[in-house]
Structure 1
Amino acid sequence: MEPIIDRIRTKAEQLLNAKVDEIRKVENVPNNTVYKLWARNKPYIFKIYKQRNWPEDRKLLFVNRQLNEQQIGCAAIIEFDRNDPHFHTGYVLEACLPGKTADQIVFNEQTGLAFYEKLARLVSRIHKIPIPNFGYIGGGIAGYPSLVDFVSDEFDERAKNLINKRLFDTTSLLEIKNMVTDQLRLCDGHPSVLCHGDLTTKNVIIDEQGELTLIDWDDAMSYNWIADLSRMTYWMKFKYTADENKRYRACFMEHYTTDCRKSDFYQFENLFHVWIGLDFLNYYANRPQYEDTMRFFKETVKQLNRKQDR
């Protein structure tokens, strides 16, 4: 038996005060190492983090507490620990929710629309949870007074990585940054709220009754609501056909509710797609997906240019 399995078993049995009957590695999980285990006929997830500083300490417990206070379904966290000598990058042990992730289900037009209607209602509730300031949440108070300040710093970090990989030059990225920050100031009025950060079908559990629960809050941030939805619609561009994307996007926006002007989403979505695109270009560098990602990035920058020229 692998030493890591022994360590997981020992730790889980200590935390659950129960014998662990089975442990299986979950395959095809990017970034972190994930195992599913069973104790007293109940399933649990044991995730070992790749990075010592991500997700930031205290965030998952804070988010879990906020969701519970608002009676929004989530996986119960048994333990989050960054100080265990056997798991020096940290781990989380949490309950494994019943059901399937939505990416395992093949939707037809009717079931796909029903899914995005339910998802819109769920995300609307989550975006009602305020977070002081913008950026990394940590224990509950983010560190930037405005989204512009946060995006500006993040842009520099993403740009530096792209320049080091010789994918962009400094001048062109500075021009893009100036356009992004100039236009981002126009949506400064939108409040900072809890954002999931990765609204994709792999992070939505559907139970037997058809109810939805969001999982994997590692990427949760304090943004405005437009940023979170733009991250979702960016992913949808690559996931669905043009017709499917149009239908599902329209359905989601029809059932999403906010106290802000919903029309602002259509005004600023492309702006956020530019910023999000930089992140994906870094992630997909030297991978097959890079060309399509770059093609879409260039389209979004052109749209941003046209808006800047008006």
Structure 2
Amino acid sequence: MHKERKMMIFCLLLAAISSPVFSEEWKATVVKHLEVLVSSCVVVPCSFTHPKENLPASKLRKIWHSSKGRDQRIYHEDSTEISENFRGRTRLLEEKSASNCTLEITEIKDHDNGPFCFRIELARTPGDTSTIDKFSFVEDCVEFTMLNEPPKPTLIHPKTAIQDRPYTVMCSVIHTCPSNVPKLTWSRATTDTDVIEVHRQIYVGYWETLSILTFIPEEKDDHREVTCTSQFYGPKTSYSTLTLDVKRTENFNHIIIPTAVGIGTAVIFALFCIFMVKKYKNRIAELQQQEGSVWNRLSRMSRRNRV
């Protein structure tokens, strides 16, 4: 019984001592797979935790290496430790953040497919080459699928444009390089155009560049093409085109003008008729007055002769 109690106390002490170590894990959050454009660049989102979270960032040595071996480094704070093929093409983004391990690779080559894994080494003192702990996250590596041709932009727009009314076209392209976003340009560049550009992350490891074009279509724009071109870092280009279908604004001039002319003519003719009727009535009245006066004179003359 006494031995069992000692064994229980020993187990409890061992658990108390080891619990701080095992309660916090070596854990990395790395995107597993990305489609990458050859000659362009890629940003691999990465963050990690480790059991010694109270260590300053200056004691953390962040390394990226090939899954084939820890000595095949693609990133190291000492550039001489990097494989020659990747030297000058890799860097860490947000390097001052202790828990950040986001990697950028530029000038992607068709054999840079990985997998690539993150490794952390904890130095005894800042700048010290010796380490007190180290860990490679070989279960959380990133692998690339190489794209030799860039993706075409996606166009979103109303089916029909209406003459003299604002018309909006949206052009978007997906990419993996937010530090060097693709440039979107439009074939239509006139004084009536208005372009808005938006950059956003759509999901882990992928970003979208969106360009919104608004312009006033004219009758002459019917069946004209509008092209959106995307230029990727590298550079490689792709484009998408739409053909405008401009609906003319309803015009009733061919009805309104003849009707107005007809009404105007009728009004003028009616006024002329009224004027003529009044004129003839006045003339008749004058003649009647003249006839009356003549008849009166003749009557007076006939009476004088009888006398």
Q: Same fold (TM over 0.5)?
A: no
Structure of higher CA gyration radius: 2
Greater helix share, structure number:
1
Return the structure number with greater strand share. Answer: 2
TM-score interval, smaller chain: under 0.3
Q: TM-score, normalised by structure 1?
A: 0.20
